[in-house]
Each structure stands twice: as structure tokens, then as C-alpha cells.
Chain A
Amino acid sequence: MAQYDHSDDSVIVIVGSGAGGGTLANSLCRHGLKVVLLEAGSRYSPATFRNDEWFAFNQLAWLDKRTASGSWRVARDFPNLPAWICKTVGGTTVHWAGASLRLEDYEFKTKTHYSGVGGANLLDWPLTLQELQPYYSMAEDRMGVTRTNDIPGLPGNNNFKVMYNGATRVGYQTVHTGRMAINPQPRSGRAGCMQLGFCFQGCKSGAKWSTLYTEIPQAEATGRLDLRPQSMALQVRHDRNGKATGVLYVEQSGQQIFQKARIVCLAGNSIETPRLLLNSASSMFPHGLANSSGQVGRNYMRHTTGSVYAIFKQPVHMYRGTVMAGIILDEARLDPGRGFVGGFEMETISLGLPFMASFLNPGAWGRDYTRQLEQYSNMAGMWIVGEDMPQESNRVTLNHAVKDQWGLPVANVHYDDHPNDIAMRNYAYKRGAAVYEAAGAVKTIEVPPYPSTHNLGTCRMSAKPGDGVCNKWGQTHDVRNLFISDGSQFTTSGGENPTLTIVTLALRQADRIASECAKRNL
């Protein structure tokens, strides 16, 4: 592994080692570039993961303080946990379930297609699906996505059997075990799925793609990666010409270090990336670095979500096997006739008993609630994921009244549902319940959204500098050698789980950075 000097200003510094940062690091190293990868969390491995929900949560989740506001129920139930994401080498790709879908063509052009939706800060992406297709293909190959590259689908578990039967009985056509970045059989150095059922707790068999044991070791093998775990970026600094000069970060001991850089790339996920820019305000950039548009932190999106659980007369044991074991794709389309714009998917989900008790109805107690929990082994479950509307007032800001362990203001996440989000969620709840009733459910339960697992849009791409933070390469409009490399770039959320697109954008950005470096433009 490489070790670069703190004063080496020829390195590229990447903040965050998850889907965006980990992938970008590997690609840049393979292009022959020198990379310092700063990661706030510690490094674990499949050997140190545990099939235990609370243990894994404490081991892997981002628990540094955050605050939440707005009318979403998460602000009431989980005021200090607006998002459920990771702080560890590999980022949230350690927790993720692996669902890997491409965005649809129309989802890149929402301003064009969703006319008449009031109160939404819609904008077309400055790029098209066509431009992204070759990179989507590369990403699917690297991640080993099922039903692409001649990789078969995964075998469905009991939870999927229930979904499949209900879905086909109500007339849905496209229902299968999904496109998953999980190996059915060993491939590319990763093992096959053992159907452990603990995808959210770190995959102990390594069947599921995570930058932790794919991109990052591959980058290390090039000899060009200097990975620094337990290194929390505090500030991006710049010179008099407005060029980024490097990153100030703090080690676990409290020691602060300034790492010089040729280029800085931010991939701290959509809450920490804007927080870092806002915490980097200076006399030249009084509203935060790269924020001349005022859009840093705005248009925060989390997808329209919710879950439907159903109780059956006979056992399901939904917790056995892959958590996202199957998908219904029929509702992922543009059809305003349903009372909303945008599409959604229904994907199986399961929680172990410990999380189920906390999330089935947060805060609930008493005999009616425990009667439901006693039906645990007869439950099936699905998660709804659909496009949500960007709104300027849904926003990550600095909460100056609350400081983290390093003395920096924490992020406040404000979210109000848009009427379109509510219409979609209510429709999806009904469809989900119909699926389970068709399979014989004796009771269906609508479950409110969990803390956000998908976080998007807070440094969005735009053709015009006034409309967003970065251009179609993720390069910030204001600071030429500063890039946004994670889900913050999304102009709009699309209706699909975002990670495949985050990886795709990172692969494309790496090629761009390498060619601009070769041309001495950077």
C-alpha cells in the first residue's frame, strides 16, 4: 500500500470509501493516478461481521450526532437518526441489500415530462441515459449484477414465493428475483450466496458486492492507494485563485492533519458531503464552498418509501435468505393516471425480530402491538421505493446549536413530503396490500418509512451554474479541481435504488478526471 507525504500536492484526495468513493479510488489508481482515500470509519471484514442486528448496527452505522426537522415521521420517531447509513471502510455498501437497477430514460428529464407538478424544483439532468449506458454495463459487470452479463437470477426464498403468487394473481407481469449485486455462484473472487439473511449486517460470505472487499483491495493492489481509515475530513481549503489546495482532517487521536491535493473528490454521502462544503465556508466563499448557486444542501431526496407487512395463516420465515429476494417492476413507469408522476418498485424485505420490534410501528406498545409481533414467523414483507420530488426547502443545513465530537456543527436534515410523494405512497400501500391479500393474507400492516437509507441530490448536477452545484462530470461549477462523487450529484432521484447509478457515475467521472489530467487541464 502506498504512503504519500502530507505535502505531496500531486495526489487526488477522495473523502469517503463507499459506493462512489471506493469505486472512484479504484478506477483512478488503475489509470495510474495517486489516491489518498480518507474514511471516517474503521476497517472491518467479513470475518468480523456478525449475524446480529443491534451488534452490526453499533459496529457499522453512522452514529455521530445529526438532527432532523420537518413533517416527516422520522423527525419524531428518530430525531437523531434521520438516516440509516454506514461509517466504515466500504461505506453503506457494507449494509446495502444489493438491488441494482438502471434509471429509466424519462427519469433524466423530469422537468420536461412532469409538467404541472407544483412546488417541485424539477430540472433535467445535464446527461442522458444513452451517454450512461456503456458505464452502466461496466458497473454491472464489476458488481456482478444478476440477470446481466449471463449471470442467472438468484433462487427465490419463501418471502419471494409469497410476493410472486400474490403479484401474479393481481395481474402483475414483471416479477422476478431481481437484478442483484449478489453472486448466485462464485464469481470474480467473490463467493456464492449462502442465503444467510443478514445482508444488512455485512455479508459474511462476501457474495454481495461491497467496495470493502472488491474495489478497495483492487486499488491497494495497484500500489497507488493510500487508504486512511478513522480519518474524518473537516474542511476543504482553497487558495487565492479559488482552487482547492487540500483537505484538513482529524485522526482518531484528535491530531489534525492537512493533506495537500491536486484534486479533491467528495463522496461522504448526501448528508456529509454538503455539510463538509458548508463547513468549508471562507471569505471568498461565504455561503460555503462551491455554493454560488445557493443549492448546496438543497433538494435533499430520500425516495418515497414505506413497507407493507402481511400476516398469513401459515409460516413464511421471511428472514431466511436474501433480504431483497424479489421485485415487482410493473409500477415503475410514467403514468400520471395513477394520481402522481414517477414510478416505484416493490421489493421484498425482511427484518430480524430485534429490528422488527423497533420498526414495525416505532413507539407502539401494548397487547395489540405484541399480538402482531407474535405472528412474526407467519409474516411476509415488501419495501416500496419510488421517485420523490426535489424541493428547495428539503435541505441539509448546519445546526450551529449542536456540535459533534470534533466541535463542528452537525447536519440538520429537514424533510416534508411533497403531495406527489404522499399520493404515490398511499397508492403503493394499497397495491402492496392487494398483492398480499391475493396470496391469502389475514392482515396487512402499513409501515412508515425507516430512517433514510437512500440519500440524494444535495449537490445536484445542472447544465447552468445557477441551477445546481456541479456539471455533468460531477465537477463543481465554482471550483475546477473539486468534484462531487456520490449520490449528492443526482439532479432528481429516479424511482430505482440508486447505487448502481452512483457507481456508474463514479466510473465515468474517473475516466474524465484521467483524461483531463493527461491533457493537463487539471
Chain B
Amino acid sequence: MKRREFLQKSAIVIVGTAVVKAAPAVGANGQWSGLRKLSPAQAQTLLVMARQIYPHPKLDDACYVSTIEELDAQAAVSPQTARLIIDGVAQLQNSTGGKFDRLSPEQQTAALEAIQSTAFFQKVRSTEVVSLYNNHQVWKQFDYRGASYPFGGYLHHGFNDLKWLPNPPDSASPRG
């Protein structure tokens, strides 16, 4: 069912972000606001988890919050999803003596490896792989520009600007 959720999810991301007004946010002090279903403690554990699943030291927490936002929005409308997430967080905390958020990154990864085949883990991972890498802030960090039609495409914006290899001859690649 993994893929199905994945697809349904991605549909929601696109439609959803435009509609949800009071999006959850986490302040510099670790205070959560705008959550619809999850508790701040649950959201915080999910955030730590999300950072370990697709860790990028250069990205700040705000990039990962969209995943929590998405999980929270789904939990708010589906009791089944809410149970999956809430129970999953509780079990993860139980397995680490309630200290998951404060473990070292290596220990957190080990705790996640132990649950990686569960529906809970797959739910978080498959949600995150879409929402994290669909985030425009993240695109900037990765030097990916996204939509090119608004600026007329790459024809005059570097589609063939690579300089560290010689240019192919015209017969292989006409200059246009």
C-alpha cells in the first residue's frame, strides 16, 4: 500500500498547501503553533525523525516542518492515520526510554533502522520524500531552479553553458 499512500499524499500536497491557512510552525524556542491534531511533543519527535531520515546539515528545521504539517493535516482528517502516527511516535519513544529526541544522531539512526519496515516509518518517509524535495527553499540549496517557462526556458539561460569539457562538433550537436 506504500505507493498508494504516496500517490494520494502527493495529490494532497499540491492541493493541500494552498488551502491550509494556519500552517504549523516551530519557533526558535521549540514552541509549536498551528497544529490541528498532533501534540507539540509528537510534532517535535516527528521533526527529529524527519531530520534523520533525509539528513541535510545545511537545511534548517523550517524545511522539514512541511512534512510535519502534512502528517498533521492527514491525521486531522483520518482517525486511522492519526492512530498510525500517534502510536508510532509512542513506540519509538518507548523503545528509547522516552529520550529519542535527545539521542546522538547515530543512536537515532539505529532506533529508526529497527523500525524501518513498519507502516509508521514508511508513512513518514514516503510523505517526507515528496514534501521535503518539493520545497522551494530546498531547491535553492540544491541549485535546482524549478519552473523555467516563466523566464523563457534555458535556451538563453545556460542550457549548454558547461565549460569544463570541449563542445561536441556541429554534426553531433548543431548550434541551433
Q: Which A positions have Cβ atoms within 8 angstroms of B? A: 50-52, 54-55, 57-58, 63, 65, 77-81, 152-158, 160-162, 164-165, 175-177, 184, 193-198, 204-205, 314-317, 319-321, 326, 352-354, 356-358, 363, 365-367, 369-370, 373-374, 376-377, 439-440
Contacts and interface: CB of A to CB of B under 8 A. Distances in A.
Contact of B172 (A77, A175, A196, A365): A175
A71 B54 CA distance: 28
Given A79-B3, A367-B55, A321 B162 contact: no
Contacts of B175: 155
Contacts of A176: 171-173
A57 B143 CA distance: 22
Given A80-B3, A184-B176, A357-B132, A195 B155 contact: yes
Interface in B122-176: 125, 129-130, 132-134, 138-139, 142-149, 152-155, 157-162, 164-168, 171-176
B52 to A, nearest CB: 8
B130 to A, nearest CB: 6
B154 A153 contact: no
Given A352-B146, A373-B142, A165 B54 contact: no
Contacts, number: 178
Contacts of B55: 366-367, 370
B53 A177 contact: no
Interface of B: 1-4, 7, 10-11, 13-14, 52-56, 109, 116, 125, 129-130, 132-134, 138-139, 142-149, 152-155, 157-162, 164-168, 171-176
Given A194-B155, A366-B109, A78 B56 contact: no
A205 B151 CA distance: 13
A377 B160 contact: no
Nearest to B109: A366
Nearest to A58: B11
A162 B162 contact: yes
16 contacts: A52-B147, A54-B134, A55-B14, A80-B3, A153-B174, A154-B176, A155-B176, A177-B172, A197-B148, A197-B159, A198-B147, A315-B162, A320-B154, A353-B138, A356-B133, A366-B53
Contacts of A52: 146-147
B165 A165 contact: yes
A358 B55 CA distance: 15
Contacts of A326: 172-173
Contact of A195 (B2, B134, B144, B154): B154
A480 B161 CA distance: 57
A204 B150 CA distance: 10
B176 A197 contact: no
A438 to B, nearest CB: 11
